[in-house]
């Protein structure tokens, strides 16, 4: 249950009321809200004088639900770009799987700048399946991304793999990415709840939609209202493609949550040959953003080599998206 308190209720009073209902106190604009378990369906009459509006909830998808906020949250990504709201924008995020060296970052950053792509991606702490694979450049990589931002003026997004370096990622990045394997890490979710930067949470490949959105609830109830969801494919019986992109799940998220939605065709498909078609299909879903892996020479990439597009492939794909976006009332930015 969400109890929206009147704007006149002070922080001290909100904390006191929060304790009495076993609820979390969350500031939302000019007021406080108390969020209890969704099992609570009513509060005693002594609370009524402090309450502006009550939202009874079916499940613990609460702050993220459209029954609490009917319009999609609008989130500032820095450098004049926003995601969500009612703008009808589909934000393109592109860049390599991993930050590998200055030359690689400079080449792709120059391409993205030329195409006016507003957000560059690149992992510096890689959650690899094998301990013998490239694990990322760490803080050195974060500095390379930050230098590219200074040189080219876009925003950057990079992932946090575990709680040991979450502070460094928060310091350097504009948008914090929580990966599919990290989305259950409560140390990360807690740190991101306290951060003042947008957070993009990727759906774990064995995660139900309920669990996915509840991970977002940890960040939202921790005090950070800027959360974006990213569908990147789930594991099914199919093995010919790397994962199965759950577009039905995307329809659910669009219908029932107020969080902007980004789709990641690169990790879902896992192979270069399908990415362009899949990206156009994603765009036709009328979503808030796309995240695509791009590398100057994918064949030598240190991670996810099979799925990264080269510069020519990405450029061709990028130019084909405008018409698809337009057909569903959106613009690629």
Q: Which residues bind ligand PEP (CB under 6 A)?
A: 97, 123, 127, 179-181, 202, 232, 267
Taking CB under 5 A as the binding criterion, the range among 97-105, 162-170, 173-181, 321-329 that sits at the site for Mn ion is 97-105
- Nearest-CB residue for ligand PEP: 179
C-alpha pair distances (Å), 90 with each of 84, 109, 130, 208, 323:
8, 20, 34, 25, 12
Residue number with CB closer to ligand PEP (118 or 136): 136
DSSP 170-195: HHH-SEEEEPTTTTT-HHHHHHHHH-
159 near Mn ion, judged by CB under 5 A = no
DSSP characters over 64-124: TBTTT--SPPEEEEETTEEEETTS-EEEEEEE-SB---HHHHHHHHHHHHHHT--EEE-BS
Whether the Cβ atoms of residue 303 and residue 128 lie closer than 8 Å to each other: yes
Q: Give me the helices (H) in the chain, please.
A: 11-20, 102-115, 139-152, 166-172, 186-194, 209-221, 247-256, 265-269, 272-284, 311-327
| Closest to ligand PEP by CB, 73 or 302 | 302
Distance, CA of 278 to CA of 283 (rounded, Å): 9
Structure tokens at 115: 């195409």
Residue 205 Cβ vs ligand PEP, minimum distance, rounded to whole Å: 8
Distance CA 270, CA 165 (A): 27
Stretch in the footprint of Mn ion (CB under 5 A) among 51-59, 89-97, 153-161, 210-218: 89-97
In whole angstroms, the minimum distance from the beta carbon of 230 to ligand PEP comes to 7
Single out the segment in contact with Mn ion by CB under 5 A; choices: 15-23, 114-122, 157-165, 302-310.
302-310
State which residue, 1 or 91, has the beta carbon closest to ligand PEP.
Answer: 91
Write down the least CB distance from residue 313 to Mn ion, Å. 16
- The entry of ligand PEP, Mn ion, none near residue 202 (CB within 5 to 8 angstroms by kind) is ligand PEP
Output the smallest distance, CB 303 to Mn ion, in A.
Answer: 6
Q: Residue 65 corresponds to which tokens in the numbers above?
A: 């639900």
- Distance in Å, CB of 137 to Mn ion, minimum: 14
Please state, in angstroms and rounded to a whole number, the distance separating the CA atoms of residues 315 and 116. Answer: 11
The window from 16-24, 49-57, 92-100, 222-230 that contacts Mn ion (CB under 5 A) reads 92-100
Give the shortest CB-227-to-ligand PEP separation in angstroms: 16
- Taking only Cα atoms into account, the Rg of the chain, rounded to an integer number of angstroms, comes to 20
Minimum CB distance to ligand PEP smaller for 36 or for 307: 307
Question: Shortest gap between Cβ of 266 and Mn ion (angstroms)?
Answer: 7
Residue closer to ligand PEP (CB basis): 127 or 286? 127
**Residue 311 interacting entry, from Mn ion, ligand PEP, none, C-beta within 5 to 8 Å by type:** none
Candidate list 97, 228, 268, 332; residue touching Mn ion; CB under 5 A: 97
| Backbone φ and ψ of 259, nearest 5° | -100, 140
Q: Give which of Mn ion, ligand PEP, none residue 242 binds (C-beta under 5 to 8 Å, depending on kind).
A: none
Torsion of CA 242, 227, 254, 331, to 10 degrees: -90
Contact positions vs Mn ion (CB under 5 A): 97, 304
């Amino acid at each position: 249950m969400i109890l929206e308190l009147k704007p006149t209720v002070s922080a001290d009073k909100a904390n006191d009321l929060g304790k009495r209902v076993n609820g979390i106190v969350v500031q939302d604009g000019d007021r406080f809200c108390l969020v209890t378990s969704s099992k609570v369906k009513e509060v005693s009459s002594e609370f009524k004088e402090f309450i502006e509006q009550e939202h009874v909830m079916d499940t613990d998808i609460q702050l993220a639900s459209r029954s609490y906020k009917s319009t999609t949250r609008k989130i500032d990504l820095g450098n004049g770009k926003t995601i969500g709201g009612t703008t009808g924008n589909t934000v393109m995020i592109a860049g390599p799987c991993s930050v590998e060296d200055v030359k690689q970052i400079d080449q792709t950053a120059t391409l993205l700048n030329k195409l006016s792509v507003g957000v560059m991606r690149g992992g510096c702490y890689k959650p690899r399946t094998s301990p013998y694979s490239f694990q990322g450049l760490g803080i050195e990589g974060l500095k390379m991304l930050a230098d590219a931002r200074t040189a080219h003026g876009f925003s950057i997004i990079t992932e946090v793999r575990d709680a040991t370096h979450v502070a460094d990622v928060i310091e350097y990045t504009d948008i914090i990415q929580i990966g599919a394997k990290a989305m259950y890490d409560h140390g990360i979710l807690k740190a991101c709840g306290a951060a003042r930067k947008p957070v993009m949470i990727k759906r774990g490949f064995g995660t139900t939609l309920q669990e996915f959105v509840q991970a977002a609830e940890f960040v939202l109830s921790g005090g950070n209202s800027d959360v974006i969801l990213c569908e990147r494919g789930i594991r099914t019986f199919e093995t010919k493609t790397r994962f199965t992109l759950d577009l039905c799940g995307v329809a659910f998220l669009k219908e029932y949550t107020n969080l902007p939605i980004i789709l990641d065709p690169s990790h879902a498909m896992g192979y270069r040959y399908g990415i362009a078609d899949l990206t156009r299909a994603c765009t036709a879903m009328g979503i808030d953003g796309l995240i695509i892996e791009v590398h100057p020479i994918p064949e030598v990439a240190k991670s996810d080599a099979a799925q990264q597009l080269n510069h020519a492939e990405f450029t061709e794909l990028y130019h084909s998206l405008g018409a698809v976006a337009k057909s569903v009332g959106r613009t690629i930015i």
